C-alpha cells in the first residue's frame, strides 16, 4: 500500500469521537473564503497572487472590485491564504462538527416536553402461517404481536429475512454487509427474554436494516463510497444503540448512494423492486429497496435534501423525516451539519411512529437535539387537528412537470369521504433554491480532505452533478454569501412559523412545488406514503407536512389516510 493511502486509511479507521453535530455556519472558513479556489490554487502552486488572480476570483464570486481597491487587497489576501494553508494542516475527521448550532425554532418558542403515555393501535396476533415467508411484508405491529404471543420466534424471522436478502440482493444490490452473527445472537437473546415474559417494547425481536452511514462496531461502515469501504469505528451510532436497547435485531447494513447522494454506490446501482431496470432513488436507496422487497421488518434512513422522501416515493414505502433536532446523529456520517436528519422507513405510518419513538431524544453528544414530547395517540380524533392542503399546487394542470395529478386528486377525495374539511393554505414565497448553497458549502467542508487529497477520483460517480465536482465547486462559494444564505433561512423559519400558527398538518403533492427544499431548510417534519401505482406498476406518493416537533398529529393524519386506502399493503413480486 502506498504510504499516503496507508496514512489516510489509519485516520479514517480510528475511533470516531462521540459526535456533537453542531453547526449552521459550518464550512464558512474551510469551505470558502471571499475568493476561495483561484487564490489558494495559485498559492499552492507557488505562484504569486497578483491583480489577475483577484480579477478572476472576483468574477467567480460575482463581485466587481475597482483597480485601486484590488491593489490595496493584495497584502491582506496573501496573509489570508497563508492562514488557510495553515488551517488545512490540522486533521479534521468527519466526526468533528463546527462550533455553532443550527436551531429551526423561531425566537421565543420551545418544544413541548410534557410527555404522556404512548397510545398505539391495539393489534391482536394472527395465526402462525404455514409458510413463514408470507410474513416478509407484515408490518412491525403485526410482527410484534406474533412475537409477543410466541407464535413465531425472532430467530425464525431473522433467518427468514436474511435468507431473502441473500436470495434477492443479486437483483436488488440493496445490501453492503449482512450482520448475520450479530443478528442471530440478538435474536436468540430476544427469544429468551420474550419467553421469560420480559418485553422491551413494540420492536422487541424485529429484524431491521441500517443505512450504511450508521456506525456499527465489528462491521465496516462504508458510506457507500470506495475510499471508505474498509472503514471501521469503535462505537455504535446512538440510533443503533437505542434500537439494540429496544430489542430490535440488526440484520444488515444497507446501501446508500455514495456519500449520501443518489442510488449508485461502489458496488453498483441499487434497484427498485417494482421495476428492476430502474434505480431505487436515493440516497437511502438500500432502506427503500429492502423494505419494499420484504427483506427487513423496517429500516433507518437519513435525509438532507430528499434522501428519505425520494426513495420512499420510488419504492412505495412509508417514510418519516423527523424535525431537525429530534434524533441524534452521533455516529452517523456528516454531510450537512445544519440539514442532516435520521428517520424510519417502514411499511406503515404506525410502524414509523413506533420506530421513531425508540430513537428520538437527547444523547448528550448531538447538541442540536431537544427532549421534546411525542404524544402519539393512534386514535386521536381528526376533528382535533387543523388540516390544510396546498390548493394552488393541487390545482396545477397535469403535464410534464406534474404527472401525479389524478392520484393527488383522488387523495383529496379520500379526505372528503373521511369527513375532513381541508383548509386552503399556501407556502411562504422565498427563493429556497438559492439557499441550497448552505448544503453545498457544508458538504464541501465535510469532505474537504477527501477533495484536496485527490481521492475523490476513486468515487464511482464522476459526472457534472456528482460529489467530486460539487466538492470542488463548493470552494468557490463566498463565505459572506454562505452566512447571508443562513440569514435568509432565518426569514424562512419566521415565515413558516406564521404558517403553522393556523394549521397543524398540510397535505401536499410530493412534487411539483417547493415544499421539499423548503422544509429541509426550515427543519419541518414530513411523512411520505404510497397513494397509487402507475400503469407500469411503479408507485407514486403523497406528502404530509407538520409543524416543528409536531410528529404526533402529522403521523395521525397520515395514518387516517393510509387506513382508508390499501396502497401500502401491495408489494412487488420478485
Residue 512 preceded by cis peptide, ω within 30: yes
Are the C-beta atoms of 359 and 366 separated by less than 8 Å? Answer: no
Our answer to whether residue 211 is catalytic in this structure is yes
Other Cβ atoms within 10 Å of 394 Cβ, number: 19
d(CA 289, CA 283): 11
d(CA 52, CA 190): 68
Q: Pinpoint the alpha helices (H) of 14-122.
A: 36-44, 51-61, 67-87
Q: Choosing from 173, 211, 229, 559, which is the catalytic residue?
A: 211
Residues 6+ apart with CB under 8 A from 462: 468, 469
Q: Choosing from 283, 310, 312, 511, which is the catalytic residue?
A: 283
Phi/psi for 471 (5° steps) reads -60, -40
d(CA 121, CA 246): 19
Our answer to whether residue 173 is catalytic in this structure is no
Residues 6+ apart with CB under 8 A from 530: 316, 317, 318, 539, 540, 541, 542, 567, 568, 570
Q: Choosing from 307, 336, 338, 474, which is the catalytic residue?
A: 307
Tell me the longest C-alpha to C-alpha distance in the chain.
85
Enter the C-alpha cell of residue 399.
403535464
Are the C-beta atoms of 129 and 150 separated by less than 8 Å? Answer: no
Our answer to whether residue 225 is catalytic in this structure is no
For cell 487564490, the residue is 39
d(CA 475, CA 120): 48
Which residues are part of the catalytic machinery?
211, 283, 307
Amino acid at each position: 500500500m502506498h504510504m499516503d493511502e496507508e496514512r489516510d486509511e489509519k485516520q479514517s479507521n480510528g475511533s470516531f469521537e462521540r459526535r456533537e453535530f453542531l453547526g449552521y455556519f459550518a464550512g464558512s472558513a474551510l469551505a470558502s473564503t471571499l475568493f476561495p479556489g483561484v487564490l489558494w490554487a495559485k498559492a499552492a502552486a507557488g505562484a504569486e497572487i497578483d491583480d489577475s488572480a483577484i480579477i478572476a476570483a472576483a468574477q467567480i464570486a460575482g463581485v466587481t472590485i475597482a483597480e485601486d481597491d484590488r491593489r490595496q487587497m493584495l497584502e491582506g489576501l496573501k496573509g489570508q491564504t497563508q492562514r488557510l494553508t495553515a488551517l488545512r494542516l490540522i486533521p479534521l475527521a468527519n466526526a468533528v462538527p463546527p462550533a455553532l448550532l443550527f436551531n429551526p425554532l423561531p425566537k421565543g418558542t420551545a418544544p413541548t416536553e410534557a410527555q404522556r403515555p404512548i397510545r398505539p393501535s391495539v393489534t391482536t396476533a394472527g395465526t402462525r402461517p404455514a409458510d413463514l415467508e408470507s410474513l416478509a411484508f407484515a408490518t412491525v405491529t403485526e410482527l410484534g404481536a406474533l412475537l409477543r404471543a410466541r407464535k413465531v420466534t425472532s430467530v425464525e424471522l431473522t433467518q427468514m429475512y436474511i435468507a431473502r436478502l441473500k436470495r434477492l440482493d443479486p437483483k436488488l444490490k440493496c445490501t453492503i454487509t449482512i450482520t448475520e452473527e450479530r443478528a442471530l445472537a440478538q435474536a436468540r437473546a430476544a427469544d429468551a427474554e420474550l419467553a421469560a415474559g420480559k418485553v422491551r417494547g413494540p420492536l422487541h425481536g424485529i429484524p431491521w436494516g441500517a443505512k450504511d452511514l450508521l456506525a456499527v462496531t465489528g462491521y465496516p461502515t462504508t458510506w457507500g463510497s470506495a475510499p471508505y469501504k474498509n472503514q471501521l469505528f469503535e462505537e455504535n451510532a446512538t440510533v443503533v444503540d437505542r434500537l439494540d436497547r429496544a430489542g430490535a435485531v440488526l440484520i444488515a447494513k444497507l446501501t446508500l448512494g455514495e456519500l449520501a447522494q443518489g442510488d449508485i454506490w461502489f458496488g453498483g446501482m441499487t434497484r427498485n423492486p417494482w421495476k428492476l431496470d430502474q434505480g431505487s432513488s436515493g440516497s437511502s436507496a438500500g432502506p427503500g429497496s429492502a423494505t419494499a422487497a420484504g427483506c427487513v421488518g423496517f429500516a433507518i434512513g437519513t435525509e438532507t435534501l430528499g434522501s428519505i422522501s425520494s426513495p420512499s416515493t420510488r419504492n412505495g414505502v412509508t417514510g418519516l423525516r423527523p424535525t431537525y433536532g429530534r434524533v441524534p446523529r452521533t455516529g452517523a456520517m456528516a454531510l450537512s451539519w445544519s440539514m442532516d436528519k435520521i428517520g424510519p422507513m417502514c411499511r406503515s405510518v404506525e410502524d414509523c411512529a413506533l420506530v421513531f419513538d425508540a430513537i428520538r431524544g437527547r444523547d448528550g453528544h448531538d447538541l442540536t437535539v431537544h427532549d421534546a414530547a411525542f404524544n402519539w395517540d393512534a386514535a386521536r380524533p381528526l376533528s382535533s387537528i387543523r388540516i390544510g392542503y396546498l390548493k394552488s399546487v393541487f390545482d396545477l394542470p397535469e403535464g410534464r412537470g406534474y404527472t401525479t395529478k389524478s392520484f393527488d386528486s383522488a387523495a383529496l377525495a379520500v379526505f372528503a369521504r373521511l369527513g375532513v374539511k381541508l383548509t386552503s393554505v399556501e407556502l411562504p414565497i422565498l427563493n429556497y433554491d438559492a439557499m441550497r448553497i448552505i448544503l453545498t458549502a457544508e458538504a464541501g467542508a465535510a469532505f474537504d480532505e477527501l477533495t484536496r487529497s485527490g481521492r475523490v477520483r476513486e468515487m464511482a460517480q464522476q459526472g457534472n452533478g456528482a460529489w467530486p465536482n460539487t466538492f470542488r465547486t463548493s470552494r468557490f462559494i463566498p463565505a459572506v454569501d454562505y452566512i447571508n444564505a443562513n440569514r435568509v433561512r432565518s426569514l424562512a423559519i419566521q415565515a413558516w412559523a406564521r404558517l403553522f400558527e393556523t394549521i397543524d398538518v398540510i397535505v401536499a403533492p410530493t412534487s411539483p412545488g417547493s415544499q421539499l427544499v423548503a422544509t429541509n431548510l426550515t427543519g419541518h417534519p414530513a411523512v411520505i406514503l404510497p397513494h397509487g401505482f402507475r400503469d407500469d406498476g411503479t408507485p407514486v406518493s403523497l406528502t404530509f407536512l407538520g409543524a416543528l416537533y409536531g410528529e404526533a398529529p402529522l403521523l395521525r393524519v397520515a395514518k387516517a389516510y393510509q387506513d382508508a386506502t390499501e396502497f401500502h399493503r401491495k408489494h412487488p413480486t420478485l
